[in-house]
Structure 1
Amino acid sequence: MDEDPRAPLERAEAAIVEHYPRLVRLAYLVLPPSMGRHRRVLTAHGLVQRALPRAGRRRPAGGLPAQRGPVPETGYDLVRLRTLRLALAYERRQGRGLPLLPDVRGLPLLPVVWGLPFLPVVWGLRLFPRAGGAEELALDQALSAAPASVRAAIGLWQLEGLDEDTARAVLGRAGAEEPEAAQRAAERLDRETEGGAAALLASGEFDPCTVQARPTDLLRRRQRLRASAALAAVLAIGGVVAALGGGADLPGRTGTAAQQALDPARLVRTPNEQWADTSRVDFTAWPARGRQAGDKELLGRALRVWAAPPADARITAAAGTSTRPPGHPPQLLYAGLIDNVMVVVFHDGERLVRYAEPEGATPTLHFARVDNADLTTGAGLVIGRGNGWMRYLLAPWISDVGTRDLLAPGLPPHGLHVAPDGVTDRIATPPPAGAPCGRWPVAQFRPSTRLGTAAPAFLLADLDDLVPVHLTYMPPPSTGGPAGGPTGGPPGGPGGPAEGPSSAAGPHPAWGPREATDAPALRSWARTACSLGALRGAGVRSVNDWAFAEQDLPEGGGRAFWVCSRADTWRGPGTVTVRFLPPAARPTDPGRIAGRATGTAACSRFGPHVVGDVRWQAKSGTWYLLAAGSRDVSGLDATGGGVRAAGTTSTLAAPAGPDTRAETGAETAVVGRLRDGRTVRAVEP
């Protein structure tokens, strides 16, 4: 007697009802993480409900089976196989598969069949699984970088408890590519997961049946409704004009420049290998990277928010950086999911623009000026940031990157893992303002030898801007430092000595700043690193530590260094801090600040002469006025404040009280005499 044709269908339905949470969890794991958690939750439920086979599709007697391999023995095997097949196919379908309902009400994009959306449908709410801890987040990031077949393999192994042979057979029947390779990759991922993946996958982080609900962006939804109404009116008017034949000679039929700038299809995309065959090694040589680089919907949304930010959008701009809309199609640098935030980065020739789209939150825009970037200042950007950590997106010419602590100059750099798309692992950020300065992490980059020159490694520091700051160093004159001060072109170039005019000081050649990676540079930066915190968010391009003078202290007090730290901004103006560094018991002792100046050319190639002065107390208790100048300073004069002294060298030490201004009402003026007869005043405190 033939089996009732409805029996397999009823068994499949019973299996779905009984094991629904297991099936939805498996589908959620396999679906592309780039969809975002809300869409993954709804799609996972929808795929499991679609896994119910259709009734009345019995194979005729003597017919061949539809697929090779053993037929599933139970209703659960059947619906699990169908769920896997749908979820695996969904990754290949991204951006080109099922039609979508337009997101006109702040709602998720929903696939449509025969004009109707798949169930379930959620209007006006965003759904999220419960957030886990650091271990769950780390596993989620690792799964995001793995193909769908690997996620399916680890799901069958750790969630379904299948043995190796059975899991491989199910993967093959579900259409997974290279099941054996997927299993090996899943085993590696499990070994690299602290505590193993089984317990973490069973947690609430990966449970789409236990969710939290939040409203959609209410203001954005209202604005989109208004925009949709306006668009409908424009289309209606356009249809009337076209029907009347009045559109034949309308100007600007291809769109204005501003309209073209918002077209994702017109985005500039640099070829992958152009950086290795160009004389312009900067952001223009970056290729477009990220798994969502082809997602026109995401790119269009990012461009529209840039052009007309919603009222509640968060906008951050580095000092002196314009937030104007794009005037032409920008270059795409990256589009992808970073720590559950969809991120897009554009470059318009002058600025970097990072668009971030957190789930259930308003979008953010971050602008940074990067005109005249070079091999070092165009080597990376901050692609993601969190509480106490950040990630870099590296330039394609960076072959190696590590981290080091500026306050531990004797320790070697620690290697840093980089994903194939150029995104680094998390890097600790410097301590926030007001916190003790016990460490100062920086990144050490090494350029590729494919650039055709032995470019040295260099340091970049995160100062809360979109682009990190290049750190350089210039040694004192006695060790081959510059004769007359910083000269030449941009620091950190691959050519070693900077090209530029020679100093008028004498026979010593003019050298530019060098990379701050050797032992003397690191020792100098250990004493000045904590001062970098004052430059946060100021749009700084580079900071150079110039040890412009050395001085033997009175009464056998040892040898001191005078350092001028110059911070150059992308806008041009810079700030300087002159610091006196006497011998110290701790290698990170910051010394004393002798003077500060803003909006000055001092300590640059256009202001190569500098003088500083401080009051210093010897072990005997005697106070001295100490002064020093850069190499072109041939003499120093100190007058006022109870001090009157003169010297014929670039350093001066004269007895003085700790602070005579209260008694005399005058400060001590220190002036340096240059070899060509000019004078230069000391940088004031």
Structure 2
Amino acid sequence: MSSSRRRTAAPPSRGTLERTEATLVDRYAHLVRLAYLTLPPELGRHRTVLVAQALVQRALPSLPRVPAGALLPRQRTDATAVEAEEDWLRARVLRSALAYDRRPRGWPARVPPPRALRPRLPVVWGLRLSPHAGGAEEIALSRALAAVPPAARAVVALRCVDDMPDERVRELLLTVGEQDPDAALATADDLRAHAGADASALLRSAEFDACSVRTRPTDLLRRRRRVRIAGLVAAVTACGTVLTVSSTPTGPPDSSRAHPMRAAQITPAQLVHTPSGSWADTARVDFTAWPARGGRTDDEALLGRALDTWAAPPPGTSVTRTRTTGLLPPTRGAQLLYAGDIDGRAVVLLHDSDRVVRYSEPLGSPDRPALEVARTDEAGVTTAAALVVARRDGAVRYLAAPWIADAQTRDLLRPDTPGRPLHTTKDGITDPVDAPATAGACTGLPVLQLRSSVRIVEKHAFLVTDLGGLTPAHLTHTPSPHTGAPARQPREATGPAALTAWARTACALRGLRDHGVRAVNQWDFAEQDLPERGGRATWSCTRVSTWAGPGDIQVHLRPPGRSATTPARLVARDRSTAACSRFGQHIVARTAWTTAAGRRYLLAAGSRDIRELTVTGDTRATEDGNTLAVRVPKDATLSVRGRTEDGANLRAVGDTREP
């Protein structure tokens, strides 16, 4: 029998109970994450958080009381004994989590398991708990995990989070009663291959951390209604009153009453038509400067159907809108941008203050219209440079702004390949452009390179790419301070350095689709020499800004690669943060690094104003400057903070401990 089987099989003795409890407390977050990932997803995030905490807290056995002196912990110097305690606790937690999903034969799927399998504490009243929401990549991984058996989820957690080798994982599964561990390992292999190289970083993110949670109240209105209903029932019962409600309609419905805004709906004749040359003679270069273009701008029947559908979408209409975008009917200031026939559909583009609306219907049959609404407040020269006018067979046609003098296509994964000219009609409609693939291998990332007319700005070219919305996302770059460039706003990502930097992280853009992204900036905030002559690496912070306002960040490390497109290493991320923007100009990040010789280091870096980095936890170190590299043991618990020139402290992105 292997040593792994022996470590997990024997429970701790009475004399080692206190040591085991100390191990549980020390590894609490890891054990809770293991339980959280293994438990059935249909429990919901709130209940899964509570059940995972309960399973870990109940992992210690119930042993008879003994004198306190008999439980004094001894110094732990035997690494094998420590591993045995950890494996025994993992087995207890894993056995309980797997048992929670193994209902008795014939037990209904939607009925909770028997009371014996239901953890009791902790209990939370009046609050809903959930881990911090992740990005598109975490959501995709969460869905993939939900589709596999619980044992496979456990394997993924043990491999990616605890770095456990396959032999120990197999022994652990056998110990907890798993009948076919090899099948679980094979399923986990497929899942990890689908998730890609960032699976470990994703599983260590806040999306799967059941110890760092957000709290929200339960449905306050529902609670209030229940109290009122209870009072009403009591009053009705006391008075003996019988209420009857007739279900017979008293007359035809009033259409204006069914849609309060319908009476104020505008007509096609009231749509605003901007003169064709206004964009060159205004200081407001945005959608309000777009003229009305297309071959059907005078088709009142088509425009009327578009306005009617916007005001009150009929049954069967496909309605799509970005997050935080309202569906209120158009106002009298609504502006016509385009009306014409494209790729077998009649298309109308409208602009209303802070929204753009795309209406389309099949030519010759307006029975299945589609409506798409996107938020576009505070758009400018670059973010109002184009709109998606048609999608078909994985390709996109754009309507370019009137100030776009030249359009090209290029591939972000081929930074040395020049752009190819893109034909545009007199109305501003481009030829079809390949959209970025949403699945499969990332072999290319198409973007548009647009150039503004010299009538508004000279020598101004910029990149945009399709991320699923009506407006393409603007891509920018902020160069490393080691280039000697002063601190300034993001620059256009058309130069050689910017294109080379984007080639290493471009594939991460695929996970941002349909998130209402306005702009994405990549900021190379630090450079560092890797330990043991590992070459020079660049730290970058990719900020994703949405039309709704909040922004997410991803921190990457770009070590020397085999090619110009070797993917960068994702080391941290954060959501709804001001970091890496003009309102959050300082950043600190860290990651583990293993040299070619197998030695483990902690790497940390900060932006240009970071004057000192400090490591605390199982290893302590302080380094002047904005980069640090220090040897660390495996599975060390560490936190990193940086100090700015004015004495402010910043914790590293992803660290949950306060500095």
Q: Scaled by the length of structure 2, what TM-score is found?
A: 0.59
- What is the match of residue 593 of structure 1? 570
- Among 548, 552, 556, which residue is 2:529 paired with? 552
SS at match of 2:482: helix
Whether 1:660 and 2:635 are equivalent positions in the alignment is: yes
**Matched residue, 2:598:** 621
Is 2:590 the counterpart of 1:584? no
SS of residue in 1 equivalent to 2:647: coil
What is the Cα deviation at residue 541 of structure 1?
0.5
**Is the CA contact (8 Å cut-off) linking 1:257 and 1:327 kept in structure 2?**
no
**Partner deviation per Cα, 1:618-673 (whole Å, 9 max, x = no partner):** 22221111000000100100111x3211101100000123x414xxxxx3101001
Partner of 2:640: 670
Measure how far apart 1:230 and its partner are. 8.1
Once the two structures are superposed, the pairs formed by residues 304-383 of structure 1 within 5 Å of their partners are: 304-359=308-363, 360=365, 361-383=367-389
Q: Is 1:262 the equivalent of 2:238?
A: no
Alignment of 1:9-20 (within 5 A): none
Change (3 A) 1:387 1:230: farther
**Contact in 2 for aligned 1:260/1:266 (Cα 8 Å):** no
- The Cα shift of 1:436 comes to 0.9
- CA offsets per residue over residues 156-181 of structure 1, 9 Å max, x none? xxxxxxxxxxxxxxxxxxxxxxxxxx
1:543 to 496, 501, 520: 520
Q: Which residue of 1 aligns with 2:588?
A: 611
Superposition misfits of 4+ residues, deviation over 3 angstroms: 256-261
Check the 8 A contact 1:351/1:368 in 2, yes or no: yes
Paired residues for 1:53-92 under 5 Å: none
Q: Distance in 2 between matches of 1:481 and 1:391?
A: 37
Please state how far the C-alpha of 1:479 moved relative to its aligned partner: 1.0
Which whole-Å CA distance do the structure 2 matches of 1:550 and 1:319 have between them? Answer: 36
Name the CA distance, whole Å, in 1 between partners of 2:324 and 2:477: 26
Aligned partner of 2:553: which letter? V
- 1:262 to partner: Cα distance: 2.6
Cα displacement string for residues 513-568 of structure 1 (whole angstroms, at most 9, x for unaligned residues): 00000000001100111001111111110000000000011111111000000000
In the alignment, the residues of structure 2 paired with residue 320 and residue 387 of structure 1 have an alpha-carbon distance, to the nearest angstrom, of 29
Q: Which residue of 2 aligns with 1:631?
A: 608
Q: Separation in 1 of the partners of 2:513 and 2:326?
A: 18
Q: 1:22-61, aligned counterparts within 5 Å?
A: none
* Cα drift, residue 327 of structure 1: 2.8
Take 2:449 and 2:263, find their aligned partners in 1: how far apart are those partners? 41
Matches within 5 A, 1:224-623: 259=263, 261-359=265-363, 360=365, 361-432=367-438, 434-451=439-456, 453-482=457-486, 510-623=487-600
Contact kept? 2:395, 2:435, Cα under 8 Å: yes
C-alpha separation in 1, matches of 2:645 and 2:274? 51
Q: Distance in 2 between matches of 1:652 and 1:639?
A: 13
Superposed CA RMSD: 1.9
CA offset at residue 591 of structure 1?
2.1
Structure 1 residue 329: Cα displacement:
4.2
1:474 touches 1:481 (CA, 8 Å); kept in 2?
no
Q: Using the alignment, how far apart are the partners of 2:442 and 2:619 within structure 1? A: 37
Q: Is the 8 A contact 2:271 2:332 kept in 1?
A: no
Q: For 2:272, give the aligned amino acid.
A: V
2:410 and 2:632 map into 1 onto residues whose CA distance is 42
Determine if contact 1:594/1:683 at 8 Å carries over to the other structure.
no
Contact 1:320–1:539 (Cα < 8 Å) also in 2: no
Letter matched to residue 475 of structure 2:
L
Q: Distance in 2 between matches of 1:578 and 1:437?
A: 20
Cα distance in 1 between the residues matched to 2:382 and 2:545: 14
> Contact 1:546–1:564 (CA<8 Å) still a contact in 2?
yes
In the alignment, is the contact (CA less than 8 A) between 2:270 and 2:332 conserved in 1? no
Partner SS state of residue 310, structure 2:
helix
State the Cα distance separating 1:455 from its structure 2 match.
4.5
Show the counterpart of 1:12: none
Q: TM-score, normalised by structure 1?
A: 0.57
The 2-side partners of 1:324 and 1:555 are apart by 61
- Structure 2 SS opposite 1:646: strand
Amino acid at match of 1:461: T
Amino acid of the residue matched to residue 571 of structure 1?
A
Q: In structure 1, what is the Cα distance between the partners aligned to 2:500 and 2:327?
A: 39
1:105-143 deviations in Å (ceiling 9; x for gaps)? xxxxxxxxxxxxxxxxxxxxxxxxxxxxxxxxxxxxxxx
Question: SS in structure 1 opposite 2:455?
Answer: helix
Mapped partners of 2:557, 2:449: distance in 1: 27
Q: Distance in 1 between matches of 2:631 and 2:548?
A: 43
Which of 614, 623, 633 is equivalent to 1:647?
623
Instruction: Write the letter of the residue equivalent to 1:287.
Output: P
1:449 is paired with a residue whose SS is coil
Larger radius of gyration: 1
Q: Which runs of 5+ in 2 are unaligned?
A: 1-250
One-letter amino acid matched to 1:266: Q
Amino acid at match of 2:348: V
User: What code does the residue aligned with 1:616 have?
Assistant: W
What is the percentage of aligned positions where both structures have the same residue?
Answer: 50
Q: Deviations over 1:236-273 (max 9, x none)?
A: xxxxxxxxxxxxxxxxxxxx985564310010000000
Tell me, in whole angstroms, the C-alpha distance in 2 between the residues paired with 1:442 and 1:520. 17
Summarize deviations over 1:356-408 as a string: whole Å, max 9, x none. 11244510100000010000000000000012101100000000000000000
CA contact (8 A) 2:504 2:566 kept: yes
Deviation at 1:328, TM superposition (A): 2.4
Q: Does the 8 Å CA contact 2:271/2:333 hold for their aligned counterparts?
A: yes
Maintained 8 Å contact 2:272/2:335: yes
C-alpha contact (below 8 Å) 2:505/2:567 kept by paired residues: yes
CA separation in 2, counterparts of 1:638 and 1:291?
Answer: 65
Q: Which amino acid aligns with 2:455?
A: R
Kindly state the Cα deviation for residue 594 of structure 1 after the two structures are TM-superposed: 1.4
1:571: how far off?
1.2
Number of residue pairs aligned between Structure 1 and Structure 2: 400
Q: Structure 2: how far apart are the matches of 1:594 and 1:656?
A: 17
- The amino acid that maps onto 1:348 is D
| Cα separation, 1, equivalents of 2:425 and 2:458 | 25
1:450 aligns to what SS in structure 2?
coil
Partner Cα distance (1:455, 1:288) in 2: 27
Paired letter, 1:386:
R
Letter in 2 for 1:558: G
Unaligned runs of 5+ residues in structure 1 are: 1-228, 235-255, 483-509, 662-666
Q: Residue 478 of structure 2 aligns to which amino acid in structure 1?
A: M
Q: Structure 2: how far apart are the matches of 1:481 and 1:315?
A: 46
Which amino acid letter does the alignment assign opposite residue 429 of structure 2? V
Q: Quote how far apart the aligned CAs of 1:320 are.
A: 1.4
Instruction: Give, as a single letter, the amino acid of the residue that structure 1 aligns with 2:635.
Output: T
Instruction: For residues 68-102 of structure 1, give each alpha carbon's deviation from its aligned partner in whole angstroms, at most 9, with x where no partner exists.
Output: xxxxxxxxxxxxxxxxxxxxxxxxxxxxxxxxxxx
Structure 1 letter corresponding to 2:447:
V
Equivalent residue number for residue 65 of structure 2: none
Q: Distance in 1 between matches of 2:638 and 2:570?
A: 16
